[in-house]
Amino acid sequence: SYVLTQPPSVSVAPGQTARITCGGNNIGSKSVHWYQQKPGQAPVLVVYDDSDRPSGIPERFSGSNSGNTATLTISRVEAGDEADYYCQVWDSSSDHRVVFGGGTKLTVL
């Protein structure tokens, strides 16, 4: 089955740029979606199809995907961005149609 690998944690100071990676075999050939989850809340889609933003998501959130790594970039990080972030793909090559990464805890110092 397809596996997505994320770092368990990323730390960044306010105003700096956070980059959260999501590794997978030839992930660049798939569409990657990113979710933000704050404690006690349901996940929120922040980036879809590698780099598109849903309505209402700040432009500070962006995504890229190439080769074996997809990246969620959060510019000018704010305290309110502290959350868990999950990447996700739809894997048509197996029965495990939807795959989530293990999640990354973003800490704003």
Partner 1 sequence: QVQLQESGPGLVKPSQTLSLTCTVSGGSISSGDYYWSWIRQPPGKGLEWIGYIYYSGSTYYNPSLKSRVTISVDTSKNQFSLKLSSVTAADTAVYYCAREPFDIWGQGTMVTVSS
Which letter does DSSP use for residue 59 in this model?
T
Q: Does 98 bind partner 1 (CB under 8 A)?
A: yes
Q: Which range touches partner 1 (CB under 8 A), out of 16-24, 66-74, 75-83, 94-102?
A: 94-102
Binding footprint of partner 1, residue count (CB under 8 A): 21
SS3 assignment, position 65: strand
Residue 22: both structure tokens together: 């999501």
Is the CB of 31 or the CB of 64 nearer to partner 1? 31
Q: Does 63 bind partner 1 (CB under 8 A)?
A: no
Which of 62, 86, 106, 108 is in the footprint of partner 1 by CB under 8 A? 86
- Whole-angstrom distance, CA of residue 75 vs CA of residue 69: 19
Nearest alpha-carbon partner for 2 in 102, 99, 86, 87:
99
Q: Which range touches partner 1 (CB under 8 A), out of 20-28, 63-71, 75-83, 86-94?
A: 86-94
In sequence order, what DSSP letters do the residues of 3-52 get, joined into one string?
Answer: --B--SEEEE-TTS-EEEEEE-TTGGGS-EEEEEE-TTS--EEEEBTTTB
CB 98 to partner 1: min, Å? 4
Binding site for partner 1 (CB under 8 A): 1, 33, 35, 42-45, 48, 54, 86, 88, 94-103
